[in-house]
Structure 1
Amino acid sequence: MARDHKPSHRRFHLSRRRALAATATVAALILGEIALAEIPAHAAGKPRGHDVSSHQKNVNWQKAKSKGARFVYVKATESNWYKSPYFSQQYNGSRNAGIIRGAYHFAVPSESSGKSQAAYFLRNGGRWSRDGWTLPPALDIEYNPYSSKKCYGLSKSEMVGWVASFSNEIKRQTGRRPVIYTNTNWWKRCTGNYAGFGDNHALWLARYGSSPGELPKGWGYLTFWQYDNGSGRLPGDQNLFNGSMTQLKRFARG
């Protein structure tokens, strides 16, 4: 994912067939904050989903569902100053079409604290409810798209503290820890491959290859895999949930 009020700075391509043909591995699935039964990570029947932002504008949600969308993450906010003008259409429209949805926040740690950005996110669409249709809030944290300071000018320990501050505020206000969206290279470079979030935060991994590959330290499994950056059949980026539809619904309920 990337900021959505300027052109995307990345474009990767991978067919779903290649993504599902990944080498078989075994991974535990995290539901809420509890690791449950192990499942084969290459299972072809996993729920398909996507993530959208203002790049996709008004989405035809019935069409997306007919093409296989079972869940979606919708960009709500960025830093503590940007709100997606398409959030309501995307977030409410997907729910009305019978798609499980959640909201995500694009972090800009150089601009304000994790707590401040979490509070802004929650005021502008990032809430969670135990209705079975709402995924936990997600934190999108990745390379800085605005400058050469790829870690936003923060030290590794400062970045870990920023993520913890964001997470603690989400937990305080919603009762759930946020899903963390990132990629392994960024996590190594900007947090020192910190292992402390793996026990109680679901991982949403961005990796555009034939398999998820190496995970950030602390996570022995992933919950979501973003395997394609905008070239698939669904609007936006393409994702898989690492489990069954039953498990996806349980994950949404918490």
Structure 2
Amino acid sequence: MLLLLLPLLALSALSAPLLQKRVTGIPGLDVSSYQGAVDWATVAANGAKFAFIKATEGTDYVNPDFSQQYEGSYDAGLIRGAYHFAHPDSSTGAAQANYFLANGGGWSADGKTLPGMLDIEYNPSGATCYGLSTSAMVSWLSSFSSTYEAATGRYPIIYTTTDWWSTCTGGSSAFAANSPLFVAAYNTEGPGTLPAGWSYYSFWQWADSGTFPGDQDVWNGSQAGLEAMATG
């Protein structure tokens, strides 16, 4: 996942193990090709219970390390899920949902696979909102979400930041009833104000480095609750 454009000075002054202990919740991580092959046995031994793996981006990129990361995390006993980095400027939401589904982003009720996650955030190479109006962005999100749900029976998890969501969707509350929230906010005290519509978060990405490879995440609930989300 891309680095968020938020201050990290406070994090650099503290050790990763200390940060891990200060954040409450079931620990996990998310990774992409940037991490390469991951030593999942060590990740599991260090306490991770779930992992999100980047599968696709737009309609022209597949993570070359996806298989090792996705199957490796499963084999190590973690609950795993795939994610798609959205490019609303390049194709429709439906086209990107179908590309994601065709390249590892599906869901099965095996108790170890989370519904797919849509990573919708700051544009890494252009306009913050990808050149879309707030109404067009909401329509794009609806297209992705409905296509994914029609194929899997599950609505996608939505990863975003409160600032991006407010700026680029106009603070839409249209998705909170169906999609679990994965909120990104880099600190150890809590995620702060949530995007419009959500009264609680399911996952929180609180740092971009720490005990585990990649980003550091927590599930806001019990292990049983995490397993229930995977089971559907």
Shorter-normalised TM range: over 0.9
Corresponding position of 2:96? 117
Which residue, out of 54, 64, 74, partners 1:95? Answer: 74
Counterparts of 1:90 and 1:10, CA distance in 2: 26
Give CA-to-partner distance per residue, 1:94-129, whole Å, 9 cap, x none. Answer: 101111000000000000000000000000000100
Matched, 1:79 2:58: yes
Corresponding position of 1:63? 42
The answer on whether the counterparts of 1:222 and 1:242 sit within 8 Å (CA) in structure 2 is: yes
Matches within 5 A, 1:43-54: 44=24, 46-54=25-33
Matched, 1:150 2:128: yes
Corresponding position of 2:201? 222
AA aligned to 1:74 is: I
Instruction: Please tell me the root mean square deviation across aligned C-alpha atoms, in Å.
Output: 1.6
> 1:56 deviation in Å?
0.4
Give CA-to-partner distance per residue, 1:11-55, whole Å, 9 cap, x none. Answer: 836356557657xxxxxxxxxxxxxxxxxxxxx3x2100000000
Distance 1:9 1:207, change over 3 A: closer
Identity of aligned residues (%): 50
Gaps of 5+ in 1: 3-7, 23-43
AA aligned to 1:69 is: A
Distance 1:236 1:115, change over 3 A: same
Counterparts of 1:9 and 1:57, CA distance in 2: 20
Q: Which has the higher helix share?
A: 2
Counterparts of 1:108 and 1:9, CA distance in 2: 16
Which residue, out of 227, 230, 242, partners 2:220? Answer: 242
Which residue, out of 197, 202, 206, partners 2:175? Answer: 197
Distance 1:226 1:16, change over 3 A: farther
The answer on whether the counterparts of 1:113 and 1:162 sit within 8 Å (CA) in structure 2 is: yes
Gaps of 5+ in 2: none
Counterparts of 2:66 and 2:163, CA distance in 1: 29
> 1:10 deviation in Å?
5.2
Corresponding position of 2:146? 168
Counterparts of 2:87 and 2:195, CA distance in 1: 20
Give CA-to-partner distance per residue, 1:183-232, whole Å, 9 cap, x none. Answer: 00000000001011111110000001221100001000000000001x21
Counterparts of 1:145 and 1:158, CA distance in 2: 19
> 1:168 deviation in Å?
0.4
Please give the TM-score of this superposition, normalised by the length of structure 2. Answer: 0.93
SS of match in other structure, 1:164: helix
> 1:176 deviation in Å?
0.2
Q: How many residue pairs were aligned?
A: 225
Corresponding position of 1:126? 105
AA aligned to 1:189 is: T
Counterparts of 2:227 and 2:51, CA distance in 1: 13
SS of match in other structure, 1:103: strand
AA aligned to 2:186 is: Y
Counterparts of 1:212 and 1:20, CA distance in 2: 16
**Which structure 1 residue ranges, 4+ long, deviate > 2 Å from structure 2?**
8-22
Which residue, out of 213, 226, 229, partners 1:251? Answer: 229
SS of match in other structure, 1:112: coil
